[in-house]
C-alpha cells in the first residue's frame, strides 16, 4: 500500500512527513469523497507538480521576464496558455494566479478602484467570499451589493440582479459561486452587465470541467473576464486561471503581475498544462457528462428518501441539502458522515436561520467519485449510506457508523484512485 508516485527519498529523509502523506493517500482511497470543490488528479498531474520546475523564479511573462534562464519555463507557460485558450475557446489566458481568491482579486484590481460598487452573489445563497462578502478584503475595500436566490425556487433571482444593477451601477458583476446547483445563465448576466456598463466576471471555479467537457454552457462570448480554479471539476492541480477577451487581456495580465503576485508557481503551471491536455481529449467530455449524471442520480435517490434539496435538484455536479426536516444540523451530520466514510462539508442554505459555523445544510459534489469510476447505478447505495448516517445522528447512535464505513471500504476497493496503490 503506497502513495503513487512512490516517495522513497521523502520516506528516508523525513519519515514523519512521508507517513502523513501515505496516510492521506490511504484516507483518500477509503472515503467516498463528496466535497464539491475536490477531485483526484491523474498521476501525470501529480508527477508534474513534483518536478524541478518548483526551483525556478520567473516573474513576468514569456519573453519578458525579470530573471534569466527562462528558455524552458517560457515554453511550459506558453503551452498552458495555448491549451487553456483552445479548451475554452478564449481569446486570452493568464495561468499565473496562485488560486481562485487571487484570481478574483486580480479582476478587482484590473477593473475597479477601492470604494467602487461591485455586485456579487451573497455567500449564504451560494456566492463566494471574494464576491464582496463583508469579511473578505473584497467586501472591505469595495462597496458590495448582493443578489441571492428566490425563496420559492432556490434559483438565482435574475430580476433582483437586474434591479440591483440598475440601482447601483456596479463596476463589476460576478456570476458564479460555490454552492449553485443550477445552470448559470451567462447570456442573461451579460445583458444586465451591458445595460449598466459593468464588466461581467464569470467565476466558473466549480464548473470549469463541465464547461470544458460541454456539460454546462460556456461563459465565453458573454463574460469579458472568466476566473477559475484548476482543481475542481477541471481536475488539475491547485491553481487558477483568468480567461478574457482580447480587449481586457492587457489589464488582466498587469493586475496578476506586477499588480498582485510575484513569480508564478511553475510546477503548478506545468501541471495545469497537463490537466488541460487531458481536458482536450474526447474522454473528458464523457467524464464531464458522467459527473452530471451521477449528481442527478444521487439527487433523485436522496429526494426519494425525503431529503430537501435546494432548488429541488441539480443541473451540475453539486447538491445542496437542507437537513432541517431530518431534525439534524449540517455540522454534526457532516462530522458523523466523515466518521462513516463519507466526506463532505456543512454549508449554509439560502435563508438559513442558523449561523455559518453551525448551519442547516450540507453540500455534496460528484466530481471525485466520478473520477474513480462510480456511476449512476451506485448512487442509490451512496444515498442509503448518507441516510443511515443522518438517521444515526438523529438517534445519537454513534455505534452505527463503523459498519457503514466498512461497507464503503469494501465497495471502494474495486475503484482505485490515481495517487495510491492498495
CB of 128 to ligand DSN, least distance (A): 6
Q: How far is CA 55 from CA 69, 80, 231, in A?
A: 12, 18, 22
The C-alpha atoms of residue 268 and residue 13 are separated, in whole angstroms, by 24
- The verdict on whether residue 361 carries a ligand-binding annotation is no
- The verdict on whether residue 53 carries a ligand-binding annotation is no
Look up 339 and say whether it is catalytic.
no
- The verdict on whether residue 365 carries a ligand-binding annotation is no
The C-alpha atoms of residue 308 and residue 28 are separated, in whole angstroms, by 28
Question: Active site residue: 49, 138, 229, 314, which one?
Answer: 229
CB of 133 to ligand DSN, least distance (A): 11
Look up 40 and say whether it is catalytic.
no
Question: Active site residue: 31, 146, 232, 331, which one?
Answer: 232
The residue number whose beta carbon is nearest to ligand DSN equals 37
53 vs 234, beta carbon nearer ligand DSN? 234
Question: Active site residue: 65, 162, 238, 305, which one?
Answer: 238
37 vs 348, beta carbon nearer ligand DSN? 37
300 and 74 in contact (C-beta within 8 Å)?
Answer: no
The C-alpha atoms of residue 213 and residue 204 are separated, in whole angstroms, by 13
Supply the angle between the helices 282-304 and 379-394 in degrees, to the nearest 10: 40
Helices (H), 112-157: 137-141
The C-alpha atoms of residue 235 and residue 231 are separated, in whole angstroms, by 5
List residues binding ligand DSN (CB under 6 A). Answer: 37, 100, 128, 178
270 vs 298, beta carbon nearer ligand DSN? 298
Q: How far is CA 123 from CA 151, 176, 226, 289, in A?
A: 15, 11, 19, 27
Q: For residue 161, give the C-alpha cell.
A: 440582479
The C-alpha atoms of residue 242 and residue 105 are separated, in whole angstroms, by 11
Look up 232 and say whether it is catalytic.
yes
Look up 238 and say whether it is catalytic.
yes
240 vs 390, beta carbon nearer ligand DSN? 240
CB of 240 to ligand DSN, least distance (A): 11
CB of 29 to ligand DSN, least distance (A): 21
Which active-site residues does the annotation give?
A: 57, 59, 203, 229, 232, 238
Feature table: binding site: 123, 127-129
Feature table: binding site for (6S)-5,6,7,8-tetrahydrofolate: 123, 127-129
Amino acid at each position: 500500500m503506497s502513495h503513487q508516485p512512490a516517495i522513497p527519498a521523502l520516506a528516508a529523509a523525513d519519515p514523519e512527513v512521508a507517513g502523513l502523506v501515505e496516510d492521506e493517500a490511504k484516507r483518500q482511497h477509503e472515503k467516498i469523497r463528496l466535497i464539491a470543490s475536490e477531485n483526484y488528479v491523474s498521476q501525470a498531474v501529480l508527477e508534474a507538480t513534483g518536478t524541478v520546475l518548483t526551483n525556478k523564479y520567473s516573474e513576468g511573462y514569456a519573453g519578458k521576464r525579470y530573471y534569466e534562464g527562462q528558455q524552458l519555463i517560457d515554453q511550459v507557460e506558453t503551452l498552458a496558455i495555448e491549451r487553456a485558450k483552445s479548451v475554452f475557446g478564449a481569446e486570452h489566458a493568464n495561468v499565473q494566479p496562485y488560486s481562485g481568491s487571487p484570481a478574483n482579486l486580480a479582476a478587482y484590481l484590473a477593473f475597479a478602484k477601492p470604494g467602487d460598487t461591485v455586485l456579487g452573489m451573497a455567500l449564504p445563497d451560494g456566492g463566494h467570499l471574494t464576491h464582496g462578502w463583508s469579511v473578505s478584503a473584497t467586501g472591505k475595500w469595495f462597496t458590495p451589493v448582493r443578489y441571492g436566490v428566490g425563496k420559492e425556487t432556490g434559483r438565482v433571482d435574475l430580476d433582483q440582479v437586474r434591479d440591483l444593477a440598475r440601482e447601483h451601477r456596479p463596476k463589476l458583476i460576478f456570476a458564479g459561486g460555490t454552492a449553485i446547483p443550477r445552470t448559470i445563465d451567462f447570456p442573461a448576466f451579460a445583458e444586465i452587465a451591458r445595460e449598466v456598463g459593468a464588466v461581467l466576471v464569470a467565476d466558473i471555479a466549480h464548473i470549469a470541467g463541465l464547461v470544458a467537457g460541454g456539460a454546462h454552457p460556456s461563459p465565453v462570448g458573454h463574460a469579458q473576464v472568466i476566473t477559475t480554479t484548476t482543481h475542481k471539476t477541471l481536475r488539475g492541480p491547485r491553481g487558477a486561471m483568468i480567461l478574457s477577451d482580447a480587449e481586457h487581456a492587457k489589464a488582466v495580465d498587469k493586475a496578476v503581475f506586477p499588480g498582485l503576485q510575484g513569480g508564478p508557481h511553475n510546477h503548478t503551471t506545468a501541471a495545469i498544462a497537463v490537466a488541460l491536455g487531458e481536458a482536450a481529449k474526447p474522454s473528458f467530455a464523457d467524464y464531464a457528462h458522467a459527473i452530471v449524471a451521477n449528481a442527478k442520480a444521487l439527487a433523485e435517490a436522496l429526494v426519494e428518501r425525503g431529503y430537501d434539496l435546494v432548488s429541488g435538484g441539480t443541473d451540475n455536479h453539486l447538491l445542496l441539502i437542507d437537513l432541517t426536516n431530518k431534525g439534524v444540523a449540517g455540522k454534526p451530520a457532516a462530522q458523523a458522515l466523515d466518521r462513516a466514510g463519507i466526506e463532505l462539508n456543512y454549508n449554509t442554505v439560502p435563508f438559513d436561520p442558523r449561523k455559518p459555523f453551525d448551519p442547516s445544510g450540507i453540500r455534496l459534489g460528484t466530481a471525485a467519485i466520478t473520477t474513480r469510476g462510480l456511476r449512476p447505478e451506485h448512487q442509490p447505495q451512496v444515498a442509503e449510506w448518507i441516510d443511515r448516517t443522518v438517521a444515526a445522528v438523529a438517534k445519537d447512535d454513534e455505534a452505527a457508523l463503523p459498519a457503514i464505513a466498512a461497507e464503503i471500504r469494501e465497495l471502494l476497493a474495486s475503484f482505485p484512485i490515481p495517487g495510491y496503490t492498495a
